[in-house]
A and B are shown apart, each in its own frame.
Chain A
């Protein structure tokens, strides 16, 4: 479980997050949604310690993350897996080396054990037999899947995904969404996904936090989102022609 207590963040006097409190539960896909510039990425970066909140606290189960110094935070992050928007795979390493890197750093496993774990993670994301390919040889969807495999390499307790299906076609986007959902349930991890894709919201949104202009505007489930009386949320949800017709 991740608990966010009243966090605020500003850059050069401009308020980007204002007193946000929320709880993200275990084995659930928690989504942060909102328009571009609403503060989704800043909130996610605060959660993983890439930004330091000006006020408030972030708790990972019983650990007060915001009270840790940068080195302690870095050590704590070994329990996190992060999937970046573009995948952030290391260009100079092949797929196997990319997935193996956290194991090289933080385990004393033998070469064989590492290889088995790499293959397990790649099979989990439906990418067998790509071990020797380099990121430049992969499609957008494959890159995302390798990034997910790398993120789960060390059995993280917390998984963060920054717009995991941006730039993907709708079918591949659904495959990625379902994959994240499956991993979340199978491994019993707390997953936080930053997205503005309404397909993802309807497909995997167990718990949804809607941000508007840096503030928490609405919180609920994917079933509740369609019947909400919140005007700002409705403008966002029913922005597309398809959703208007659906409504």
Chain B
């Protein structure tokens, strides 16, 4: 799924990894078999580029409690988890434009360090309610 050039570019990006990251992939053959297989393959291809990245595949119909805990109710889906679950979710195959976002999310999750300004971090630290940010995009 990844070209040689993609692999080389991502390997270079992954030199910035600080710690282990797990990609928790949700697949359900009966719901979206082909898309789930592609999503799983993408996760494995990315993980193959660096030892610090691992993949776990779950089926939301079987691993119900964990799917619920992650808030995953649709497939294909992917959770990017670092030292803790930071709340990074991808619904649909993160290819094209979303691919660079996936790679960036992996790097940020590996350290817990963001590129946000101090002012933004201070504001976020004062949040008293939960926030869910949905970002809709297309591959191109």
Do A and B belong to a common assembly?
no
> Which residues of B are in contact with A by a Cβ distance under 8 Å?
none
